[in-house]
Amino acid sequence: MNLSFFDQFSSPSLLGIPLILISMTFPALLLPSLDNRWVTNRLSTLQLWLVNLITKQLMMPLDKKGHKWAMILTSLMIFLLLINLLGLLPYTFTPTTQLSMNLALAFPLWLATLLTGLRNQPSASLGHLLPEGTPTPLIPALILIETTSLLIRPLALGVRLTANLTAGHLLIQLISTATTALFSTMPAVSLLTLMVLFLLTILEVAVAMIQAYVFVLLLSLYLQENI
């Protein structure tokens, strides 16, 4: 029974063919395509408003040099937001519960921010490894600690997103299993657990949105350090 709780995190396949690419590209089909009409419908207006809001929030901590990354960061934010929210629907698969996928998103973008800093301002980027005014005996230890903290950033990004979404899905499945198991024997307790499940679902919707925002916001902060 314990294994069945983790079956939802296994990548779906059909005839031995993994379907994770379909689950990753499907959210993009839900977005309405923009056209050149002067009068648009409400869905297109809502989409434009949401994109502008996300872009404005992500670009606030960045200088003008970092605004070149607006398209990448906004697209990543919408991508993670849609995948996290669609993964809360019953009988769906959430690709962002896979650590390999989250690391595949975090590592190249983190490396791009690091290489941007090393190309544009190498002295300032390397200066982050050694705080000013450090006593001479502590210099080797601090350089090692700062280097480790720098290299662990993409791992922290991927693990944070994976752990939060995995824990939420497990809690929802555990409480829903308890609700159905107690319905025939203790209906009052089953109703109480159903209310807890409803509140937890609302919480997980908020967590799905917050984790997508935190993932992209941290990348923008890493970018700000290197521009």
Provide DSSP, 91-145: T---GGG-HHHHHHHHHHHHHHHHHHHHHH-HHHHHHTTS-TT--GGGHHHHHHH
Whether 8 maps to a domain, the answer reads no
Whether 78 maps to a domain, the answer reads yes
Rg of the Cα trace of the chain? 22
Whether 7 maps to a domain, the answer reads no
| Per-residue DSSP letter, 32 | P
Range of the domain at 50: 18-225
How far is the C-alpha of 65 from the C-alpha of 186, rounded, in Å? 61
Please provide residue 162's backbone torsions phi and psi, each rounded to the nearest 5 degrees.
-65, -45
Model pLDDT, residue 37? 67
Whether 194 maps to a domain, the answer reads yes
Whether 11 maps to a domain, the answer reads no
Whether 10 maps to a domain, the answer reads no
Whether 92 maps to a domain, the answer reads yes
Number of domains in the chain: 1
**Which token pair is 89?**
């629907």
Please provide residue 67's backbone torsions phi and psi, each rounded to the nearest 5 degrees.
-70, -15
Whether 13 maps to a domain, the answer reads no
How do the pLDDT tens digits run along the chain, 227 residues long?
Answer: 445 666 666 666 676 666 777 777 777 777 766 666 666 677 777 888 888 888 888 888 788 888 888 888 988 998 899 889 888 888 778 888 888 889 999 999 999 988 888 888 877 777 777 777 777 787 788 888 888 888 899 999 999 999 999 888 888 888 888 888 888 888 888 889 889 989 999 999 999 999 999 999 999 988 888 87
Model pLDDT, residue 202? 92
